[in-house]
Amino acid sequence: MTSNQAAADPTLTPAWAELAALAAALDGTTIRALCEGDPQRLDSLAWTGAGVSLDATRQRVTPDVVAALLRLAQERDVLARRDQMLAGGHINVTEDRAVLHTALRAPAGSALVVDGQDVSADVQDVLARMSAFADDVRSGAWMGASGQRISAVVNIGIGGSDLGPAMAYLALRHFSDRDMTFRFVSNVDPTDMVEALHGLDPAETLVIVASKTFTTLETMSNAHAARDWVVGALGEDAVSRHFVAVSTNAELVERFGIDTANMFGFWDWVGGRYSMDSSIGLSTMIAIGPAGFRDLLAGFHAMDVHFASAPAEANLPLLMGLLAVWNRNFLGIQMTAVLPYSQYLSRFPAYLQQLTMESNGKSVRLDGAPVGYDTGAVFWGEPGTNGQHSFYQLLHQGTTTVACDVIVVARSDNPLGDQQDMLVANALAQASVLSMGRTSAEVAADGTPAALVPHKVMPGNRPVSVIMVESLRPHALGALVALYEHSVFTQGAVWGIDSFDQWGVELGKKVAMGILGDLRAGSADDPVLDGPTRASVERYLAMRG
């Protein structure tokens, strides 16, 4: 084995072999037994940082496993790669780009020059322009073409240009301007646009078109539909007062009718799924105000600083990412359910789906060789307690083991009797039963008839992390998102994959354009189409009429 092979393939490292042996030794050992057998576990497997608590005592690990995972991180140069990312190194190798979403939330006065450009100065310039514009909209200084105050904001984007702003608006709705309506359009399905515009007055509506290239098919189709809606009511000259752009393509923005003075740029070192704290967050800033948005950025930055400086054995994102590697590669767990016990976080699982699965859904290493091991897990989820009356049955008693992240907000911004305590009681109860289970003896001791005992046994042994924040302020949301961002980075660094490209989504777009040409022509004559696709096109054309 050469040193280059060891660097490329994590399975060739000593720590990987050690972890495989530890997993074999733990086979048949339950989380309950681990907790009962180690009173110190409550201290050794719970950490805090940047206002976030991560309790991994219900994970199927021992301190020896954690120590071996930290050795794996060392052998895989995870922290060196972290430092390279933070310094602006081109760690997105397939696109030869820096990965600098952390620069978006660095405080004013920070110095970072990358490829000869002062990145920090650029970021602060855009933030200042965003803040001035958001203040104008919120105060009424920015008015529509007919002199009416803006009362509704429609954000048009897709992927990271939608999921981040939509998630953040819902998460921080308590802090938003309740006199304004915010809606988000992403799907090219015309229903999405029609429903988003329903009941709005074009004279009081501001549309944000978020597309870096200003060519994204779904986004621009929806943008032109919104443009027709505004022009039909207010005339062509109204476009410049009712549309702004988050883009880098000044030519196409101007051709659309948007004043380029109202174009807010960002950079190729910002991936879509890492962009909610860039100008993509303009709708968030309008909703919660520039001060609230800067508090959000401060929360991101606090977790960035923790990731950059905390010792490995107490570094939340590093440990969270390593536990994910343990569950995926050594326990064979293919899925993680994100279970936020906060209605405000209802879109957080969907946001994490893109962050984690687009980043680490890769089957090729950085060196171009196929991976010989599992990479990114499937992420999904719903807020509690709704999920308890839906899919938790499979989590508790199904034949597929699913790891779970239970997210708890300690203080509610909407106190209502003892309902917050009721909510948290459910969260902690589910974490307990998922991990500890309930034996047949315990079920029988409750007086359960013998025939029903096997039906009420809870196997437990489902790995659970309990992630807790004091309250869902903008600062806490920023820290929570950054925790997951850096956990995703850690996993990708261990696996030796590029967590910052997304070639898997590109081919489908290209093929779709070819099929669209056939649909517009009303025929399926394209020789490039495979047989089943040609048949589906013909069937669709027949049904469409």
Q: Is 490 left (phi over 0), alpha (psi -120 to 50) or beta?
A: alpha
Task: Report DSSP state, residue 438.
Answer: B
Note the maximum CA span of the chain: 77
Cis peptide before 385 (omega within 30 of 0): yes
Distance CA 484, CA 163 (A): 15
> What's the burial of 207, exposed, middle or buried (CB within 10 Å: 0-12/13-18/19+)?
buried
Q: Which of 236, 313, 509, 538 is catalytic?
A: 509
Is 442 annotated as catalytic?
Answer: no
Is 218 annotated as catalytic?
Answer: no
3-state secondary structure labels for all residues of 138-190: HHCCCECCCCCECCEEEEECCCHHHHHHHHHHHHCHHHCCCCCEEEEECCCCH
With contact defined as beta carbons under 8 Å apart, do 383 and 341 qualify?
A: yes
Distance CA 287, CA 299 (A): 18
Q: Which of 358, 396, 485, 486 is catalytic?
A: 358
Task: Report DSSP state, residue 466.
Answer: E
Distance CA 112, CA 118 (A): 6
- Alpha-carbon separation of residue 327 from 72, 236, 322, 370 (angstroms): 14, 56, 9, 21
In degrees, to the nearest 5, what angle opens at C-alpha 393 toward C-alphas 388 and 395?
A: 90
- Alpha-carbon separation of residue 32 from 65, 406, 463 (angstroms): 16, 18, 11
Q: Which of 198, 389, 455, 510 is catalytic?
A: 389
Residues 284, 297, 100, 108, Cα dihedral to 10°: 120
Q: Is 364 left (phi over 0), alpha (psi -120 to 50) or beta?
A: beta
Is 456 annotated as catalytic?
Answer: no
| One-letter amino acid of 95 | E
- Alpha-carbon separation of residue 406 from 129, 288, 382, 442 (angstroms): 38, 26, 11, 25
Residue 183 pairs in a beta bridge with 154
- Alpha-carbon separation of residue 534 from 180, 530, 539 (angstroms): 47, 6, 9
Sign of CA dihedral 358, 362, 365, 367: negative
Positions marked active-site: 358, 389, 509
